[in-house]
Chains A and B, each alone.
Chain A
Amino acid sequence: MKVLRDLLRDYRFTASFIILCILLAYSSLSFFSPIDPTVWVAIARDQPPSSQHLLGTDSRGIDIFWSGAFAIRNSLIVALVAGVVSRFITIPVAMLAGYKGGMTDRVLMFISDSFLVIPLFLIIVLLAVLIRENLSLVTLGLLLACFGWAWDARVIRSEILSLRERGFTQTAILSGSGTMQLALKEYMPFVTPLVFATLINVMAWAIGLEITLAILGLIKLDIPTLGTMIFWALSYQAILLGRWYWLLTPVILSVLLFIALYWLSVSSSEYLDPRSRIQRVGQSLRA
């Protein structure tokens, strides 16, 4: 409770907390949705906002308010899968590299550097082109997880190196039991905050890429996500037809989501480590 109170002193945390609560509440409405957002022309098309359809309906005859709720839920699913699964690569790589040092470290860091250096966006596109119709929420999340671990592994590894320098135990190498287990036991408590802060960044990155891929038509387009909502609005020329609410709904929702996630990450990592803020270089230059 005290932690929460301290955090709430930061305007960014407060704002992101409130925005996220609202977005989560909105997205959880999708569980009680009266409509199925994948069924076309069940209702009248191109309705302007009204008391019956709060944000109107789109040219496919789908209620925009409700598909917005589904979109946030689905984008968050992609983000969570990508974020959580990528931890299963990030943490072992960082631990091994930081803990073992030497050749292991060099090889692992070479691999993660290659991931940073190569224009990942193109590789992801290449993959997405090939498995387009199989690209469901979970597979997309998994795909992004395979690519979203490298930066964080680097950040966490350097934290482990500095922990080692400050002399946080050296027992494991001598005792000879499973390196991974010992590394986890010794360093996990110290790097958990970092793991969390970087997790939020990967989530934001995943949501951004989901939108980009969807607009390129590279994921299953009948699932309502923030990206597919924008895709349909664009492909039906929503701007030219003056149906702003259709396009603006997913755009504003995603902007709110990005700001909230970013502020959450920045404020919580500053709280956890006020001196050397974890907010690092590459987070949003990420495409």
Chain B
Amino acid sequence: MLFIRRYLIPRLIQYVLVIFVGITAVFFIPRLLPTDPVARTIAELRSRGSYLDPASIDAMVADLTEMYGLEGSSFDQYIAFWQRLFRGDFGVSFFQFPTPVIQLIKAALPWTLGLLLVTTAIAWTAGILLGGVAGYFNRQGWSRALDVLAMVVRPMPYYVFAFILLLLFGYIFPLFPVAGGASIGRQPSFSWPYISDVLRHAFLPAMSLIILGVTAWFQTMKLVVQNLNAADFVQYARFGGIKERRIVSRYVIRNGMLPQITALALLIGQIFSGALITEIVFTYPGLGTLLYNAIMTGDYNLIMGITVFSIVAITTAILVIDLLYPLFDPRIRYN
């Protein structure tokens, strides 16, 4: 079938290749740099004031070398690296020794996944709908007003925007908790008090991701729709006196949505990075905060693990979106 050959296979190849290239890069970048993670770790320990006698340093170097998978030639290391990855083994965290990295990631993942999925879904959908309607009625006052508003919000980087929300609603008007994923000491359960507590904690990080996301999707959708307004099939529908509501929903939004699906696939990595940064601002207990702690403690293995894991996760997400795309575009489905 043409669809499989032209659409499916290239995407699967791309999937495997991106993972391969990405992880290989992650493996080699540190090895090509002049710094040595083992020496670094020891220097870090020293700078924290620990006294280390020469013998224990030697022992430590050996330990660390083994732990970081730095034994043997680069090639041996590389092979061993992949072997461990396939076993789901990312090594152990150095500063939460000897907890395996994968276990830390597993604990943090649900928070990030929940935050990311919910906010992306809301932001994407709302942005598409708003942008679609505003793009169709782009000569109206309210549509232009939204434009100006988007112009102000859009350029904010994740960190700065999250930070402004934190200042506004955490300190000036302290309406929401500013840190953590749930109140300390609360036991996770399927009860309303716990769920509402989680939602309250998620509110500010979610809001900052949603507002930035909606703005961006709004703008791109509005641009697409403004061009679609001139498309033959929209003009024809108007010429044919089709009701405006129908034109907006079935003609304009339905078609304008397609490039946004592709864009979502292309941008999911950046959205993910944004979520990590936002988590850091609000010390939300997901991968972002895990990463932050890893950076602060110089936990090289953990940073590596998060990076490799994220590459696989995001590439997979992209593959899933790409595979869903034909459901929305019959031109790909039947060709």
Q: Is the CB of B269 within 8 A of A119?
A: yes
The interface residues of chain B lying within 8 Å CB-to-CB of A113 are: 14, 18, 266
Q: Is the CB of B295 within 8 A of A211?
A: no
Interface membership of B26, Cβ < 8 A:
yes
How far does the Cβ of A227 sit from chain B's closest Cβ, in whole Å?
Answer: 9
In the docked arrangement, what's the CA distance between A239 and B300, Å?
31
Q: Is the CB of B26 within 8 A of A120?
A: no
Interface membership of B263, Cβ < 8 A:
yes
Interface membership of A188, Cβ < 8 A:
no
Known: A119-B311, A216-B295, A262-B155. A287 touches B160 (CB 8 A): no
Question: What's the tally of chain A residues with a CB closer than 8 Å to chain B?
Answer: 51
Q: Is the CB of B307 within 8 A of A126?
A: yes
Interface membership of A129, Cβ < 8 A:
yes
How far does the Cβ of A193 sit from chain B's closest Cβ, in whole Å?
Answer: 18
Interface membership of B25, Cβ < 8 A:
yes
How far does the Cβ of A78 sit from chain B's closest Cβ, in whole Å?
Answer: 14
In the docked arrangement, what's the CA distance between A121 and B300, Å?
16
Known: A110-B14, A123-B307. A279 touches B26 (CB 8 A): no
Interface membership of B128, Cβ < 8 A:
no
- Binary A-proximity of B123-156 (CB < 8 A = 1, otherwise 0): 0000000000000000000000000000110111
The interface residues of chain A lying within 8 Å CB-to-CB of B204 are: none
Known: A114-B22, A117-B266. A285 touches B274 (CB 8 A): yes
Q: Which of B46-105 contact A (CB under 8 A)?
A: none
Q: Which of A230-287 contact B (CB under 8 A)?
A: 230, 239, 247, 251, 254-255, 258-259, 261-263, 266, 276-277, 279-282, 284-287
How far does the Cβ of A273 sit from chain B's closest Cβ, in whole Å?
Answer: 12
Known: A258-B160, A285-B213, A287-B273. A204 touches B267 (CB 8 A): no
Known: A239-B167, A255-B160, A262-B155. A126 touches B220 (CB 8 A): no
Interface membership of B40, Cβ < 8 A:
yes
Question: Interface size class for chain B?
Answer: 35 or more
Interface membership of A98, Cβ < 8 A:
no
Chain A contact residues: helix, strand, loop or mixed = helix
How far does the Cβ of B304 sit from chain A's closest Cβ, in whole Å?
Answer: 7
Q: Is the CB of A129 within 8 A of B156?
A: no
The interface residues of chain A lying within 8 Å CB-to-CB of B273 are: 119-122, 287
Interface membership of B2, Cβ < 8 A:
no
Q: Is the CB of B315 within 8 A of A281?
A: no
The interface residues of chain B lying within 8 Å CB-to-CB of A279 are: 219, 223
Q: Is the CB of B22 within 8 A of A118?
A: yes
The interface residues of chain B lying within 8 Å CB-to-CB of A29 are: none
Q: Is the CB of B159 within 8 A of A212?
A: yes
Interface membership of B42, Cβ < 8 A:
no
Q: Which of B1-60 contact A (CB under 8 A)?
A: 14, 17-18, 21-22, 25-26, 29-30, 33, 35, 37, 40
The interface residues of chain A lying within 8 Å CB-to-CB of B280 are: 215-216
Q: Is the CB of A130 within 8 A of B291?
A: no
Interface membership of A125, Cβ < 8 A:
yes
The interface residues of chain A lying within 8 Å CB-to-CB of B253 are: none
Chain B contact residues: helix, strand, loop or mixed = helix
Interface membership of A218, Cβ < 8 A:
yes
Known: A12-B151, A123-B29, A211-B160. A130 touches B270 (CB 8 A): no
Q: B311: nearest residue on chain A (CB-CB)? A: A118
In the docked arrangement, what's the CA distance between A212 and B161, Å?
12
Partner of A287, one of B164, B274, B298: B274
Interface membership of B194, Cβ < 8 A:
no
In the docked arrangement, what's the CA distance between A59 and B298, Å?
27
The interface residues of chain B lying within 8 Å CB-to-CB of A239 are: 167, 171
Partner of A118, one of B33, B263, B269: B269
Q: Is the CB of B216 within 8 A of A285?
A: yes
Interface membership of A217, Cβ < 8 A:
yes
The interface residues of chain A lying within 8 Å CB-to-CB of B220 are: 280-281
How far does the Cβ of A30 sit from chain B's closest Cβ, in whole Å?
Answer: 22
Partner of A122, one of B154, B163, B310: B310
Interface membership of A24, Cβ < 8 A:
no
Interface membership of B111, Cβ < 8 A:
no
Q: Is the CB of B292 within 8 A of A216?
A: yes
Q: Which of A161-208 contact B (CB under 8 A)?
A: 204-205, 207-208
Q: Which of B295-318 contact A (CB under 8 A)?
A: 295-296, 298, 300, 303-304, 306-307, 310-311, 314-315, 318
Interface membership of B108, Cβ < 8 A:
no
Interface membership of A18, Cβ < 8 A:
no
Q: B215: nearest residue on chain A (CB-CB)? A: A284
Known pairs A205-B157, A255-B164, A262-B154. 9 more at Cβ < 8 A?
A117-B315, A129-B295, A130-B29, A207-B157, A230-B163, A251-B163, A251-B167, A262-B155, A285-B270
Can you pick out 19 interface pairs between chain A and chain B where the beta carbons lie within 8 Å of each other? A114-B18, A119-B273, A119-B307, A127-B29, A129-B295, A207-B157, A208-B158, A211-B159, A212-B158, A212-B159, A216-B292, A230-B163, A247-B167, A259-B152, A263-B155, A284-B212, A285-B216, A285-B274, A287-B274
Residues of A participating in the B interface, judged by any CB pair closer than 8 Å: 12, 110, 113-114, 116-123, 125-127, 129-131, 204-205, 207-209, 211-212, 215-218, 230, 239, 247, 251, 254-255, 258-259, 261-263, 266, 276-277, 279-282, 284-287
